[in-house]
Structure 1
Amino acid sequence: IASFSLDDVELNKKYAILCYIGFLFLYPMTKKEIRSSSYMLFHINQGINLFIFDIIVFVICGILNSMFTKVYAYSSSTPILVSFICYMLYCLAIILSLYGVINTFNGKSRELPVIFNFNLIK
């Protein structure tokens, strides 16, 4: 758990929550006064990591679906195992996003489990 000043957390909590919702991490990244906060840099980096993870999941599922889906004249079928794997990966991405939002809402700064943790912005 990373620790930051209570004032910094309360001031930037609403922007930190945005970092875990898709590409909305870009909004706090554009604000100079927000980027000067180490608390916000932590959450922006977590949001970028989550977004990269989401892209990787979508690419993997797209490749799996294109490799194993059989197309017929008026329909197509995907093996149950491929659908299940993609479903589990999508659920994992949603759970990680919710984990980040809930922790941030409660004033905690925890790194997201399972995914890599690069510090792309310093």
Structure 2
Amino acid sequence: MVKLKEKEIFISGYAKPPENTTASQLYKIIAVGLRVERKTGIIVEADSSMITDVSKSFVKNALEGKNLVQIEEIEEMFHDNYFGSAKKALITAIKNCHLRYCAVIDNQMMEPEDD
């Protein structure tokens, strides 16, 4: 059996939604959680704290299967196709996931392997 540590990691990113939006009234932050293949950066599962089911579904479907390393493509897709009031905060949260993933991978490359 493959251990989760060897195959996948969980990454989260957060951002503050704009004032005077439904999201800012219900949440102080927008959260994005991603289950990511450790070696490839492929997003296996995505979730967010978006308010409506349709926006949560949109984010999930837009992210799953994408490569977190290719953040420019993900960002462009949200710029071109997502027109909710929390767009900027959502993109920032996803970019924070990207930065966290890069930090994890960079840190692992610096660690000596166990024999």
TM-score by shorter chain over 0.5: no
Task: State TM-score, norm by structure 1.
Answer: 0.37
More helix by share: 1
Task: State TM-score, norm by structure 2.
Answer: 0.39
Larger Rg computed on CA atoms:
1
More strand by share: 2
